[in-house]
Amino acid sequence: MRQALPFTIGKGNVLREGDDITLIANGIMVAEALEAAHQLEQEGVSAAVIDMFTLKPIDRMLVKNYAEKTRRIVTCENHSIHNGLGSAVAEVLVENCPVPMRRVGVKRALWAGRNAGFLTKRVRTHRRSDCRSREITALIMEILPDGADAHPAFWINDIPSSARQ
């Protein structure tokens, strides 16, 4: 039986140590992040997994420490990538330790409907397509073209040229 981890508002829990990349997830995406970390291990990538179950306040020190340690962050959300976990983590990174970051989640969602069944069906459809461990793993392998030793500078291609100095 697994040992219960503490639940402290404003503090995240490190579920898995890793040196190459950090996956930060919450809710049902924690299991997907752990599975992705296992899949990445098979590819020679060491991924830390953090359960960030509170966003406000977010565990700023934990995010900063792992950003410094792994130099790459991926957030895993089971809903829109806008204004959620990824946004909170990005705020911490830009103010404390700017490292490359990606967000995994529903990229675009403009839904309309009256009943919960409609919404549940739409969320399930998007969750299946955007937010599973295999998609997380594929994204990470794509952004680590040379494996775990790749330098984070390759992420510069994700920044529009107009924003580069």
Residue 110 has a pLDDT of: 54
User: Torsions phi, psi of 86, nearest 5?
Assistant: -60, -40
**How do the domains of the chain map onto residue ranges?**
13-154
Residue 60 has a pLDDT of: 97
Residue 7 has a pLDDT of: 85
13-154 is classed in which CATH architecture?
A: 3-Layer(aba) Sandwich (3.40)
Helix axes 29-42, 133-143, angle to 10 degrees: 50
The two tokens of residue 23 are: 């996956």
Residue 134 has a pLDDT of: 79
The two tokens of residue 152 are: 């984070």
Q: What is the pLDDT along the chain (165 residues), one digit of tens a residue?
A: 567 788 889 999 999 999 999 999 998 899 999 999 999 999 899 999 999 999 899 999 999 999 999 999 999 987 777 888 999 999 999 999 889 889 887 766 555 555 555 445 545 444 444 457 777 887 787 767 554 444 444 444 444 444 434
Please tell me whether residue 116 adopts helix, strand or coil conformation.
Answer: helix
